């Protein structure tokens, strides 16, 4: 995944507004745990597309 750090510093989870961290090919919310996919280096920040925490 190749996402600019400046972008990661300003985007937040659309569900709970928690911070996001890059883990593999996903962005994982530190608040609610939702994991958002990254497709072609573009974060897909749609709650319906997010993977629920285990």
pLDDT in tens, 2-52: 888 899 999 999 999 999 999 999 999 999 999 999 999 999 999 999 999
Give the three-class secondary structure for 39.
strand
pLDDT at residue 47 in the model = 96
Instruction: Give whole-number Cα distances, 2 to 31, 32, 33, 42, in Å.
Output: 23, 24, 21, 9
pLDDT at residue 54 in the model = 75
The pTM (predicted TM-score) of the whole model is 0.90
Q: Give the DSSP H or E segment for 9.
A: helix 5-10
Q: Give residues with Cβ within 8 angstroms of 53, minimum separation 6.
A: 32, 33, 34, 35
- What 8-state DSSP symbol labels residue 51? B
């Amino acid at each position: 995944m190749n996402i600019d750090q400046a972008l990661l510093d300003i985007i937040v989870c659309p569900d709970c507004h928690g911070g996001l961290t890059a883990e593999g090919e996903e962005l994982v919310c530190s608040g609610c745990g939702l994991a958002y996919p990254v497709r072609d280096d573009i974060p897909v920040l749609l709650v319906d597309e997010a993977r629920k925490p285990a």
